[in-house]
Structure 1
Amino acid sequence: MLEAEFDQFASEYHRQHANSIRLSGETPDFFAKYKIDDVAAVLASAGVKPRRILDFGGGVGNSLSYLRAAFPESEIVLLDPSSQSLDIAEKRFPGQAHFQHFDGRTIPYDNGQFDLVFVACVFHHIPGGLHAGLLREISRVLTRGGHFFLFEHNPWNPLTLHAVRNCPFDENAVLIKAKNIRAEIADAGLSRSRIVYRIFFPRLLARLRSLERHLAKIPIGAQYYVHAVKSSI
């Protein structure tokens, strides 16, 4: 997670992202919002109101306004290795979070500090050899009973592959199969987990999206998330 690599694309992130996903007919805001909507719905059904939230690899803050709207009383930390991305995020959303730089290996917080850790399409940028350590760090800073949501691109979806191949900041990306990252999450101590596949239809077929809740176990959605809960014991 080289800071220079992320800094290189910080100012152009939104434009390049929008261009890469144009075949979906949607905007980057659509993809940011649906993730937070999903997280909020799951937590609401469990009666959970997170006190502190970590937006891990939050970049230029694309998820931040939706996190703030969904969890208005929560303290939010946006964590990223790119100083330039953090500067952009803070200018976009002053006062809405604490903008924290980190070294890409050690989360600079004590054990059990966060009730929710949210990760949006970050791990495909991280070399595989660093996954285990970072997932252990995420597990470490979660409270007992805390929730972890990791969203990723699905390598089985052809439109996703097209978007990644045509996105400059995904040049070095390595897409991750859901079952593989779920196994890594379990190895980090978060064994209570499930996989949910998302976004099966482009905007042209948006009227069919009400059917997606019945397709969540079919591994052809454009993205997926792994939801894990840290043991309370």
Structure 2
Amino acid sequence: MNKESRVLEAPCGFGYGAAYFSRICRSVEAIDIAEDNIRFANQAYRQSNIHWNRGDVTCLPYDTGEFDIYVSFEVFEHLPAEMTIKYVEEAYRVLKKSGKFIISTPNKAMRRNVHNPFHIKEYEFEEFSTILNKVFDSVEFYSVEKFKVEKGMKKTANNMIAVCEK
């Protein structure tokens, strides 16, 4: 990400990610399905290079090839399983050639005794990898363990991050 990058953050939640990215890129499109989140973010972060919009990650309101980078943290597990491929296909669609989709999700293998009622389906590495590799040619994985990010996928990671390139 650099001063020339056009970035999409979806969903943006309360907007702090978009606010951070706005300091290091040309522009940020930030969308969330929750109107309350958009209203809060629009009031809290007034950077002129952020555009706040209500929208759905499975049907993005943007043209094909618009973004250099699409950031989407902790959303995969909130979608019905049948919607995850549409979500990933939409990410691919809105990225420019060589654009990057950065996504994270909890590692189900490390959450056997954790129940989050808002998580529809959690994924183990193999499932996560299979879905992403159906759409993207290049996928690089990272592990989050003890608040540290390391390249490669560890079975003991609390969270999984993928950097997918178009």
Superposed pair shares fold, TM > 0.5: yes
In structure 1, the residue matched to 2:13 is 59
Task: Using the TM superposition, give the Cα deviation of residue 147 of structure 1 relative to its aligned residue in structure 2, in angstroms.
Answer: 0.7
Counterpart secondary structure, 1:183: helix
Instruction: Indicate the percent of aligned positions where both proteins have the same amino acid.
Output: 17
Secondary structure of 2:42 counterpart? helix
The correspondence of residues 137-156 of structure 1 with structure 2, limited to 5 A, is 137-156=90-109
Matches of 1:76 and 1:179, distance apart in 2: 31
C-alpha distance 225-83 of structure 1, shift in aligned 2 (>3 A): same
Greater fraction of residues in strand: 2
Amino acid at match of 2:70: V
Aligned twin of 2:146 = 201
| Unpaired runs of at least 5, structure 1 | 1-42, 203-208
Equivalent residue letter for 1:193: V
Structure 1 residue 224 corresponds to structure 2 residue 140: no
Taking structure 2 as the reference length, what is the TM-score of the superposition? 0.87
* Aligned pair partner of 1:74 in 22, 26, 34: 26
Structure number with the higher helix fraction is 1
Question: Per the alignment, in what secondary structure is the counterpart of residue 179 of structure 1?
Answer: helix
Please provide the CA RMSD for this pair: 2.2
Taking a change above 3 Å as real, the CA distance of residues 132 and 104 of structure 1, as seen in their structure-2 partners, is: same
C-alpha distance in 2, partners of 1:179/1:67?
30
In the TM superposition, 1:10-89 aligns within 5 A as: 51-69=5-23, 71=24, 73-89=25-41
- Determine which structure has more spread, i.e. the larger CA radius of gyration: 1
Moved over 4 A (4+): none
User: How far apart are residue 161 of structure 1 and its match?
Assistant: 5.4
Residue 28 (structure 1) aligns with: none
Alpha-carbon distance in 2 for matches of 1:49, 1:135: 26
- In the alignment, which of 176, 187, 200 is matched to residue 134 of structure 2? 187
Decide whether the 8 Å contact of 1:76 with 1:98 is kept in 2: yes
Q: Within the alignment, does 1:121 sit opposite 2:74 as a pair?
A: yes
For residue 57 of structure 1, what is the amino acid of its counterpart? P
User: Which one is further off, 82-91 or 98-107?
Assistant: 98-107
CA distance in 2, matches of 1:176, 1:147: 21
Residues 197 and 104 (structure 1), Cα distance of their counterparts in 2 relative to 1, 3 Å cut: closer
For this pair of structures, how many residues does the alignment match? 164
Q: 1:85 to 1:129 in 2, by over 3 A?
A: same
What displacement does 1:49 show? 5.7
Instruction: Give the unaligned 5+ runs of structure 2.
Output: none
Structure-2 residue corresponding to 1:102: 55
